[in-house]
Each structure stands twice: as C-alpha cells, then as structure tokens.
Structure 1
Amino acid sequence: MTGYLLKLIRESIPMTQEQLAVDLAVDRATVQSWESGRRPFTAVPFGQAIATRQRLGRLGASTSLLAALDDAAEADLVLTAVLDDKVESTNVAEQPLGWSVLTHRLTDLILWAVLGQAPTFVRAVSTPHRRRGPVAFGPLLPADQQLGEIPYRQRDDSFMPAPLSDWRGSRLLRHLVQRLDASHPFVDLNIHNVWALLAARRGLALDEPDTGRTLLGRCTALLDSGGVSAQSRHELTSIVYSLRTDGLTGTGTGK
C-alpha cells in the first residue's frame, strides 16, 4: 500500500525513479524497492521518512497523497496482521484493528488493497500517461466503513452517545441497514450495531424517512425469517417498536 502510494506521489510531481533518486540522494534501486514493497518504506528510520516526505512536498507532489502516507503505513500493518496464518489464535486486544475506530481514509485504503476500489482522494489526482508493459493500477495483495463522519480518530465507540456536533450517525445507519440480511455472515452483529446506534441516537431514523422505512421493512423480514439469534430477535423487536412509536410505517418488504 505505502509503496504504491509512493509511486503515485512520484508521478504527481512528475518525476522518473531515476530523477527522484538523484534528488533524494539514494540510488534508483532504493526508490524502485520502496515502490514495489521489496524494501518497505515503513522500515525507513522515522526521521528519514519525515525528511523524504517534506522533500517530496517541496518538489510539488500532490498534498492529498502526501497526507495519506501515515494511513497507508497503518493499512500495511493491518493487512499484514490480517493475512497472518496465526490470526485466529491472536488475542483480539493485540490486533491493530482493535485499538481505535478506523477513519474513513484508512478504511478506504484497506479496501483499496482488498477490493481494488480506489479512494476518492486518489481518483481526484490526475493520472499520468500510461507506460509500456504491465503496470499495476492499484496496490496488490501478495497471492467489506467505520464510515467516517468525523475526521479524527476515536479510541473506542463511547463517543457515539456524546453530543458531537460533527457526528450524527446517518451515514453509518444507511450502511448498516443495507447489511440487515439473513444471508449476511455478520447479520447478528449488524443487528446489534443498529440497535446500539438507535439507542444512542434517538430519532436518528427520522432524519431520513426513506432509510427508516427500509430499516422497518428489513427488521420485519428478519423477524419473519427466524434465521437470527434470540438476542437479535429481542433487539429487532425493540427496533420495530421504537420505529412504529416514532410514527414510521413500511411495507415490510425491506427494499
């Protein structure tokens, strides 16, 4: 991830690997290995990495790409941990995904590597002329957002009930509602997250009535399906009661 982002940063200047190597006082093989991941940029000493980023900025590199370097390095750390053969036996508290709620940009970078969907800030940068031969169009793995409405990291989800002016939860609710399906592998978790979100943000479903009606329909369909846990049925019943108490009605189709 970091290597591919460095490639985009270099091309945004624009410079060749040889030109950049001369400017950074390193050899071309070093730049090439940073970009390919053979010699991870995350292994560069902290001071040198900061100096390199500042130099790239002075050379005219895209500021939006430069700003994403820290998140790209963390995305590499997360992906490495997730791809570890022993991940299932690892203490959840020790996982890099567990120390804080992910930002939108970090989530986008991880999904870029997994799904090949480039983040918006990357697509907004002009694309250089295509080179000859095979060229990667995104970060490649070797061999499905906290959905961000606040721009800074949170240690845990205790911020959800707090009166934050810059976070309401509408985008997160829309995201979760689309995943209230009996066939979803984490349907019970999604149900619990919707229940907890609505408990913390009373009236949230009324902010977007269409989303509220879809939620009511999907919850009704899940209750009828019988394919969820007892706790989920209890939480779904609570959600449906709350929505109907607030005046929402739906067809029950969940569409």
Structure 2
Amino acid sequence: MGSNRSETPTGGRGTPPRPRGAVVSGYVFRLIREQLGHTQDTLAEQFRVSADTIAGWETGRRPRTAVPVGQVLVHRHRLLRLGADPALLLALERAMEADVLLSSALDDAPPLADDPMGAWVMQRHLVEVLAWPLCGVTPTPLRERFTAPRARRGPVPTAPELPQEDRRRFFARTRRTAEQARGREHFLLRRQALYLSGYDDATDTTEWLAHQQRSMRPDDWLTRWLADRSVAAVAARQGDRDRMEHFITSTLAEDDAGEAANLNYWAYWIAESPHVELSDAFIAGRLGPWPGDRLMHHLVRGLTPHHGFFDLNVHTLWALLSARASLIRPKSSTVRALRDQLPVLLDGPELSGRARRELEGIRYAIRLAEA
C-alpha cells in the first residue's frame, strides 16, 4: 500500500520554492530577539552585522544551519551576555537540528543508510521541535515559559510556518521511507519514520499506519517489543486507547524485561538518560543508571485522564515507584503534587480497573512513606 501524496517541490508552476533551510531556527531566533527587546536593527548592531543579515536568519533566506559552527558558538555566548533566556537558547540548538532533518526530508532523499532520521534514537525535546511546524503545537518547555504573545504590527505567525505543499512533501517522504526501510538494519529508521508520520492529519493516515503496522514482522524480542510499543503509541495519538491498554496488559506487565525496557525507553525519551544512543539496543536488559526524579516529575505532570497516554503514564509511574521506592520522599514537591492529585484521579469514572489498582498502590506507598 503506497502513498498517494504529491511530492511537487514548489507551490505551483513558476513559483520559486520558499526558503526551508531555517524554518524552525529562524522562528526561535526571532523569539530570542523579541525576548531581549531588540529590533532587527539594534540586534544587528550588537552582532556587528547588517539588519538584512538578521532578517535573513529569521526568514530563512540566510539559514543559521549554514553558519560555521565556531560562529554559532560566538553568537550563543553573545546572546547569553545580552540576557537571552537559556530555555530559548536550548530551543535554538534543537531547532537547528530539526531544520537539518526537515531539509533532508524536503530535498532529495538520501540512501536509507545515510538518512539522518535513522542516525540516532530521537528524544522528546527534538521530536517536539521537529513537529512544531507540522502540527502547530508549541514544544513543552516553551509552552510553559512563554504563554503570552508579544504585541507586533499586523498578523504574525504563532508557530514556525511550513508551506502546506512542504508539509505534504515531508509526510510523503516519511511514508516512503517507512515503506522502504525493511529489515533489522533499518528498523530504527522505519520506526521513527512511522512515528513522525503519525503527526499527519490527512484522512488516510490512520488506515495507512494500520497497514504499515500489520506488515511489520519483527524477528527478535526487542524489535517485537518496540514494534508493539510504536503501534500502541501511534494509536493513542490517534485516539485509540484500547490498543495502548492491550500493549500494557500483554507486553509490559507480562515480565520484568518488558517493564525494564519501558522505563529505560521513557528515561531516554525525556533525556534523563544522559547519553545519545545510536540504536535501540540500550532499552533491553536491566534498568539503566539514571536516577528517576525527572521521569517521575514528567509522569506526574502527564496524569491527565482524557489523554491517550494516560494509562501508560499511570502504569509507568507505578512500575517506576515499584522499582525505585526511594523516589517517594515526603518532602518532594513532585510527591506532594502526586498525593494531591490522587483523590481526584481515583474519583474519575473513566479509570480502567488496572489503572485504579495501580493508583491505589501508589497512594498506599506514599502513606507508608509519610507514616
């Protein structure tokens, strides 16, 4: 089953292609300039460049991905001295990485072995920035810190803008990559291409993903586990909570290996595990050396009953606290927030029997720690 999407590179006959080398990083750079209270002219003075250069960085005419690495570091230090918010500077670094991935998908597709989408196991902070121009959802760190839009003249975009034709082209490429990336050597590339394809709001996305998932034939425990998780995660994003419940019951809870793999994956996904991984192999085996505080904080904040990943968050939190009971520290702000949430969550009629039992177990563990 192939994709029926167009891959026309421009918006129409005779229309030059829009700049796409700095879609995300240009937008974030503008946010930094505005956070500093500078105009393009005044920031140009600070950087000793022309105002047209600043404008080019922001629009993508002069993508920052083309600036030498040493100069990028100089710019970063200068922005720090000017008072730039560290969260925005970190977002700028991730945005440049996301722009490379976007450009790779929108330009000539590389051979599967060279596709950057399969070069390393992506983490949440990069995936959220990469998906920003595709779905318009602000990455979590920026959504929490920068909620009020700044006053500007005329209408302004509220997210990095990617032309509709480029969005279609991006998803056509991720679909083609997923369809072509067969075999164990390309499993990571296929898995991540499928995950990104799940952000597509086209009417045939659910059907196409279901077909791709049925065609997966993993031949070892780890790839089978990851394939099952990918199926459940994409289904949850599409609003199907039954598939996630089946994954938890039949794959996670069946043995210690599945539980450890889930915790290792989550710790890496939210960047509590400090090392970048080039393959999924790190997931298998015993729990990694990560402490768990950040993961616990992330899971507690994600306990939203109507969210597609609610059941997985509950189970993962229960498994984390079962494996590392030392995280239940009564004076911890995360533990206090969890304790206050539990009565409300347990009163919810939409809880599954398993989620209710796990939340009750967590409440009991907190009470024991506070006794």
Pick the aligned partner of 1:23 from 27, 37, 46. 46
Q: Which moved more, 1:128-137 or 1:138-147?
A: 138-147
Aligned equivalent of 1:106: 126
* CA pair 128-56 structure 1, distance change in 2 beyond 3 A: farther
Shift, 1:33, TM fit: 0.7
Report the CA distance shift for 1:207/1:7 in structure 2 as closer, same or farther (over 3 A).
same
Q: Is 1:40 aligned with 2:63?
A: yes
- Shift in CA distance, 204/25, structure 1 to aligned 2, threshold 3 Å: closer
Q: Give the Å deviation of 1:45.
A: 1.6
Say whether the 8 Å CA contact 1:150–1:166 is kept in structure 2: no
Are the equivalent residues in 1 in contact too, given 2:125–2:270 (CA < 8 A)? no
Deviations 1:183-239, CA, capped at 9 Å, x for gaps: xxxxxxxxxxx9xxxxxxxx979739x78959xxxxxxxxxxxxxxxxxxxxxxxxx
Stretches of structure 2 that go unaligned for 5 or more consecutive residues are 1-23, 166-198, 200-232, 234-264, 321-350, 356-371
Question: Who is 1:250 aligned against?
Answer: none
Task: Give the corresponding residue for 2:33.
Answer: 10
Mean CA deviation greater in 62-71 or 112-121 = 62-71
Indicate if the aligned counterparts of 1:108 and 1:119 stay in contact, CA closer than 8 A: yes
CA contact (8 A) 1:100 1:154 kept: yes
**For residues 212 and 110 of structure 1, what CA distance do their matches in structure 2 show?**
36
Q: Residue 271 of structure 2 aligns to which amino acid in structure 1? A: I
The alpha carbon displacement at 1:128 in A equals 5.2
Contact 2:65 2:100 (8 Å CA) reproduced:
no
2:277 aligns to what? 154
1:228 paired residue number: none
- Deviations 1:30-79 (CA, angstroms, capped at 9, x unpaired): 00110011110111121111111110110001111102222111100111
Please list every run of 5 or more consecutive structure 1 residues that lacks an aligned counterpart in the other structure.
Answer: 180-193, 195-202, 215-255
Q: Would the aligned equivalents of 1:206 and 1:212 in 2 still touch at CA under 8 Å? A: no
Partner of 2:152: 131
SS at 1:135's partner residue? coil
Does 1:69 find its partner at 2:193? no
Percent identity between the aligned chains?
36
The equivalent residue for 1:140 is 161
Letter in 1 for 2:270: E
Among candidates 95, 115, 118, match of residue 135 of structure 2:
115
Change (3 A) 1:150 1:164: farther
Aligned residues: 184
Moved more, 58-67 or 68-77: 68-77
Aligned match for 1:207, one of 300, 312, 319: 319
CA distance in 2 between partners of 1:48 and 1:78 (Å): 21
More helix by share: 2
- 8 Å CA contact 1:64, 1:121 repeated in 2: yes
The separation in 1 between residues aligned to 2:71 and 2:138, in whole angstroms, is 28
SS of match in other structure, 2:145? coil
Paired AA for residue 133 in structure 1: G
Alignment of 1:147-226 (within 5 A): 148-151=269-272, 152=274, 153-162=276-285, 163-166=287-290, 207=319
Instruction: Name the CA shift for 1:91/1:213 in 2 (closer, same or farther; >3 Å).
Output: farther
